[in-house]
């Protein structure tokens, strides 16, 4: 399906099967959990929640700014920091962040937004054509890296109390694909967390999902298009060919396997956007990983880690509680403390 350049793209509602079920994770890496804790779509222009601060950090190109939400620990003392990389769409975190991250009681938080995202938008929001034209994995990585480096520099110039706290880098859905590139730039990194992301190279995970959905011909057509000589800004299946070319050649599994830091993966086996096979294949590839790998499979949980199996269960808040257990005694080991 081609989308005219002047058309606004509604990521979660695209008719494209591939985009909707493979890539439209605007908040499908977050909205299902956010709506579960908020109960309804929030007001599109909310006030800033108590204790949260809204700021900007410079991106990789002049004039590019990334909106960032920060929050101190809700309960003293602050024991750790969490840097959050959201999924692929246009979720504005301001309306949902307070409830979504409520269980991280002793954590200081930093939540990045992609350039062009309206922080007030909330879940299930529209992505503009301008956003689609500028969104690629490589640009998101470069902007996020520049923003985190600028944030770190500000800390160095005016170090706050407790600036030596351990740091967790957390990627939600597509945000996990940036983890190896950004982890090396963080001081005091204690571990990396993937939520609803298999860890395979994106193309491999997408191929498995296309087979699962019976969309192999559409997947092959997309493969041919990204390998063609068509312009990067050509829109196909709701994303530019520049986006799909990054997606096709992005390497994730090997960097995750070779990384020196502890890795926690949390996922639901009722995830409609990622096949269980993809999660299983990555686990098999990590049998030779030297650093710790903790794998938490939540029975009946969806892409937002919400489950109705044996009654409603919010896997996100359960996960935050496990991180809080680790934060009380981080020296005892990441996987040892997080695993139930």
Give the separation between CA 326 and CA 292, rounded to whole angstroms.
14
Q: What's the pLDDT at 157?
A: 58
Please answer whether residues 323 and 338 qualify as being in contact, where contact means their C-beta atoms are separated by less than 8 angstroms: yes
Q: What's the pLDDT at 234?
A: 96
Facing residues of 107 across strands?
A: 80
Instruction: Out of 14-18, 48-52, 230-234, give the one with best mean pLDDT.
Output: 230-234
In CATH, 11-338 is 3.40.50.1820 = yes
pLDDT for 202 beyond 50: yes
pLDDT band at 16 (very low <50, low <70, confident <90, very high): very low
CA angle 115, 118, 124 (to 5 degrees): 110
Give the closest residue to 71 by CA, choosing from 41, 104, 95.
Answer: 104
Give the separation between CA 136 and CA 172, rounded to whole angstroms.
16
User: Could you give phi then psi for residue 67, rounded to 5 degrees?
Assistant: -70, 145
Q: What is the pLDDT of residues 247-267, one digit of tens each?
A: 999 999 999 999 999 999 999
Q: What's the pLDDT at 46?
A: 62
Q: CA distances (Å), 227 to each of 67, 139, 146, 233, in order?
A: 34, 20, 29, 14
The answer to pTM > 0.85 is: yes
Q: What is the pLDDT of residues 164-196, one digit of tens each?
A: 899 999 999 999 999 999 998 898 999 999 999
The ranges assigned to domains in the chain are 11-338
Please answer whether residues 334 and 166 qualify as being in contact, where contact means their C-beta atoms are separated by less than 8 angstroms: no
Q: E-strand spans in the chain?
A: 53-58, 65-71, 80-85, 107-112, 167-172, 189-195, 235-236, 239-240, 263-268, 293-298, 306-307, 313-314
Q: What is the pLDDT of residues 113-146, one digit of tens each?
A: 999 999 998 886 778 899 999 999 999 999 999 9
Give the separation between CA 318 and CA 1, rounded to whole angstroms.
39
């Amino acid at each position: 399906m081609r989308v005219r350049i002047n058309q606004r793209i509604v990521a979660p509602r695209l008719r494209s099967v591939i985009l909707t079920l493979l890539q439209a994770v605007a908040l499908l890496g977050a909205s299902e959990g956010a709506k579960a804790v908020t109960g309804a779509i929030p007001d599109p222009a909310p006030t800033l929640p108590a204790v949260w601060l809204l700021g900007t950090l410079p991106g990789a190109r002049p004039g590019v700014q990334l909106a960032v939400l920060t929050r101190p620990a809700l309960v003293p003392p602050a024991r750790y920091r969490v840097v959050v990389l959201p999924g692929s769409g246009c979720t504005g975190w301001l309306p949902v962040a307070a409830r979504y991250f409520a269980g991280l009681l002793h954590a200081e938080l930093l939540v990045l937004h992609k350039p062009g995202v309206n922080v007030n938008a909330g879940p299930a929001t529209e992505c503009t054509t301008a956003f689609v034209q500028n969104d690629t994995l490589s640009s998101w990585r470069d902007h996020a890296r520049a923003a985190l480096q600028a944030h770190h520099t500000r800390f160095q110039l005016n170090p706050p109390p407790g600036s030596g706290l351990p740091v967790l880098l957390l990627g939600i859905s597509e945000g996990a694909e940036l983890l190896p590139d950004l982890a090396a730039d963080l001081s005091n990194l204690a571990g990396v967390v993937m939520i609803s992301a298999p860890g395979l190279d994106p193309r491999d995970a997408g191929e498995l999902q296309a087979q699962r959905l019976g969309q192999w011909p559409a997947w092959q057509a997309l493969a041919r298009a990204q390998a063609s000589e068509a312009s990067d800004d050509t829109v196909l299946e709701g994303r530019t060919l520049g986006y799909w070319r990054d997606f096709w050649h992005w390497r994730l599994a090997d960097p995750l396997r070779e990384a020196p830091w502890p890795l926690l993966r949390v996922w639901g086996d009722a995830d409609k956007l990622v096949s269980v096979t993809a999660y299983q294949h990555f686990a098999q590839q990590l049998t030779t990983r030297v650093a710790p790998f903790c794998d938490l499979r939540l029975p009946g949980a969806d892409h937002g880690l919400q489950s109705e199996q044996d009654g409603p269960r919010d896997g996100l808040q359960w996960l935050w509680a496990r991180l809080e257990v680790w934060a009380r005694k981080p020296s005892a080991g990441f996987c040892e403390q997080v695993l139930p």
